[in-house]
Chain A
Amino acid sequence: MSWLYASPLVIVLIPFFVAPIFVVIVASFLENDAFGGMVGHFTLANYAAVFSQELTWRLYLSTVKFAAITWAVTLVLGFWIAYFLVFHIRNQLLAIGLFLLCTVPFWTSNIIRMISWIPLLGKNGLINSVLISTGAIHEPLEFLLFSDFAVVVAYVHQLTIFMIVPIFNAMARIDKRTIEAARDAGASRFEIMRFIVVPLSKNGIALGSIFVLSIVMGDFFVVKVMSGGGSASIVSALFEDIAVLQYPPAAASAVVLLLVVVIMISLILRTVDVRKEIAQ
């Protein structure tokens, strides 16, 4: 009976997840002909090209750098915002209301939220105008828009919610009496944090990290728009290949990326039982 219930999910996943990934893997071993088609010769040249190019390493370095910075910032923000909502807001209805306030933008267009930084960060944007009119600076700050800074701002803007929700969920399940008991037993606020709140939020942190890291690693449009073409990510480089119908090299790069993401995610999954965390 369970199989019958799970069948719609499987019926979607097989043709639209398993098969496409399989096709990409096959394509990565094929040769490119001169017309943007693929020839059925088995070759490892695409992989050799991926690993021998210096560009690949630069792309991974830059993407991993963005992933690490974004992860660190969203984790700190997400953790403390969830903590504030769960432990500092005593009125539960207010806490839920404030939580919803954080989640509403998640349901609106990411592209629109990204471009909405332009009037703020631009050379003649709000931040520069205010700083110049107050006399704090004399020349507009150039690094605000179309830079790595802008990329990180856009990522944090879009992805903090992916940290807040699972951490909020995990913290809301912590029995408040545990904390009272610790306090009665003489635990300091730091010790309560260190030995109760953080360990019991671990699963939420892991779940949020999976979302943030997999999205940043697979992103291309935030990097493309917000860096103004100055930075690239693995997927944005791969997309350039697709645009000129170079499928096999793009596929090889995609397979390597998939492996990297799968390894990252499974390392995180080893620390927690996500299924138990969500269902319980």
Chain B
Amino acid sequence: MSAEQASLPPSAVRARRHAAEGSAPGRPWTFWVLATLFVAYVLALYGPMFCIYVLSLQDVRGGLVFPMKGLSTHWFVDLFTQVRTGDVKGGFQRSFVLALLVTVLTVVGSFLAGLAFRNRFKGDGIVFYLMIGSLVAPGLVLGIGVGLLFQYFGLEAAWYTSALGAHLSWTLPFGVLVMFAVMSRFDRAWEEAARDLGASRWQIIWLVVVPILAPGLVAVALFGFTLSYDEFARTLQTSGSLNTLPLEIWSMTLNVTSPSLYALGTVTTIASFLIIGVCLGAIILIQKRRASQIAARAAE
């Protein structure tokens, strides 16, 4: 070791030592520039959101800008009791149920499509490009098409029919893309091993593939839920006579000029964060349990 170092010029030795230690002086100047950029980005990402959470806690005198006037939950009460702020409670319930439906269908559909795309099949290119098309088509245009289609067939547009379909045309392709990334780490040898041991096709999927891909499936569920729960453009022409939550928020941004608007923002964000927390928690739990099972088996 020392002989090798002695044969190198001193500057190279110093560089190598710095690289090995990862100490601050060894960091190139770009690190500090990019670290500053990153911190600025994260501040800009979260800063405005925190402003509205804080401002939603003002009392009766509160306005839309700083400085804070008082501290109370007045605007949250106002949000759920006043008629002029719209049907927030109903909108929330509809959005929640719709997002749950979309989540279940997205997880099942993306999982199966993910299995399908592992092999080449006739027309796979067409299905793939239809999927990309559905992903990039302007949401409002698609919504108008769905609305006209329902009108043509004399069907009544409703959040649980036309809006459900319009949401799926966006969450499903997204879910399949996530499945592609998840599937790329799946080793087909595991399936073959199960087949060699006499498992049926159903058993292979249910006892081997699904448990291995479980964290990825939870991620797909998270995307499905939140993309639907927040979807606006595709819902506008397809939700029928009753509004979902984003439509309520939209009409509030145009009509309401009180901190009620911020209170609604705070409430929906708390709901989003709860869902994110549950999903990330589930992923961590699955992986922990898996690690402990492997450890237990190794100990036997």
Asked whether B35 lies within 8 Å of A126 as measured between CB atoms, the reply is no
**Contact status of A122 and B49, CB under 8 A, knowing A13-B134, A254-B141:** no
Inter-chain contacts of B52 with A (CB < 8 A): 112, 115-116, 119
**Contact status of A116 and B48, CB under 8 A, knowing A6-B121, A84-B34:** yes
- Mask for B206-228, Cβ within 8 A of A = 1, else 0? 00000000000000001000100
13 A-B contacts (beta carbon < 8 Å)? A6-B117, A16-B168, A84-B31, A111-B230, A111-B232, A115-B253, A117-B48, A126-B66, A189-B30, A238-B140, A247-B144, A265-B136, A275-B180
Inter-chain contacts of B31 with A (CB < 8 A): 84, 88
Asked whether A8 lies within 8 Å of B109 as measured between CB atoms, the reply is yes
**Contact status of A278 and B34, CB under 8 A, knowing A8-B112, A12-B168, A119-B66:** no
Interface presence of A138 (CB below 8 A): no
Asked whether A278 lies within 8 Å of B233 as measured between CB atoms, the reply is no
Name the segment of B76-84, B270-278, B285-293 touching the other chain.
B270-278
Asked whether A242 lies within 8 Å of B237 as measured between CB atoms, the reply is yes
Asked whether A16 lies within 8 Å of B146 as measured between CB atoms, the reply is yes
Asked whether A109 lies within 8 Å of B265 as measured between CB atoms, the reply is yes
Cα distance A20–B49 when bound, in Å?
A: 36
A-B pairs with lowest CB-CB distance, top 3: A20-B145, A218-B138, A5-B116
Main secondary structure of the interface of A (DSSP, over half): helix
- Of the candidates B112, B141, B172, the one whose C-beta lies within 8 Å of that of A24 is B141
Asked whether A118 lies within 8 Å of B116 as measured between CB atoms, the reply is no
Give the B interface residue count (CB, 8 A): 91
Cα distance A119–B276 when bound, in Å?
A: 26
Cα distance A27–B145 when bound, in Å?
A: 9
A9-B127, A122-B64, A157-B44 given; 9 more Cβ-contact pairs under 8 Å: A6-B112, A10-B127, A20-B144, A80-B34, A112-B268, A126-B66, A217-B138, A219-B233, A247-B148
Binding site for B on A (CB under 8 A): 2-10, 12-13, 15-24, 27, 77, 80-81, 83-85, 88, 90, 98, 100-102, 104-113, 115-120, 122, 124-126, 129, 157, 160, 169, 189, 210, 214, 217-221, 225, 235, 238-239, 242, 247, 250-251, 254, 257-258, 261-262, 265, 269, 274-275, 278-280
Binding site for A on B (CB under 8 A): 22, 27-28, 30-31, 34-35, 37-38, 41-42, 44-49, 51-52, 55, 64-66, 105, 108-110, 112-113, 115-117, 119, 121-124, 127-128, 130-142, 144-146, 148-149, 152, 165-166, 168-169, 172-173, 176-177, 180-181, 183-184, 222, 226, 229-230, 232-233, 237, 246, 249-250, 253, 261, 264-265, 268-269, 272-273, 275-276, 280
Asked whether B249 lies within 8 Å of A109 as measured between CB atoms, the reply is yes
Complex: chain A residue closest to B119, CB-CB = A2
- Of the candidates B64, B169, B233, the one whose C-beta lies within 8 Å of that of A16 is B169
B94 to chain A, nearest CB (A): 15
Complex: chain B residue closest to A275, CB-CB = B128
Cα distance A274–B181 when bound, in Å?
A: 12
Complex: chain B residue closest to A254, CB-CB = B141
- Of the candidates B165, B183, B237, B268, the one whose C-beta lies within 8 Å of that of A12 is B165
Asked whether A109 lies within 8 Å of B140 as measured between CB atoms, the reply is no
Complex: chain B residue closest to A274, CB-CB = B132
Asked whether B276 lies within 8 Å of A104 as measured between CB atoms, the reply is yes
Asked whether B141 lies within 8 Å of A113 as measured between CB atoms, the reply is no
Cα distance A169–B61 when bound, in Å?
A: 48
**Contact status of A116 and B51, CB under 8 A, knowing A108-B230, A221-B233, A261-B136:** yes
- Of the candidates B42, B46, B226, B253, the one whose C-beta lies within 8 Å of that of A111 is B253
Inter-chain contacts of B152 with A (CB < 8 A): 23
Asked whether A110 lies within 8 Å of B232 as measured between CB atoms, the reply is yes
Inter-chain contacts of A9 with B (CB < 8 A): 109-110, 112-113, 116, 127, 131, 172-173, 176
- Of the candidates A19, A104, A116, A160, the one whose C-beta lies within 8 Å of that of B265 is A116
- Of the candidates B138, B250, B273, the one whose C-beta lies within 8 Å of that of A108 is B273
Cα distance A80–B32 when bound, in Å?
A: 12
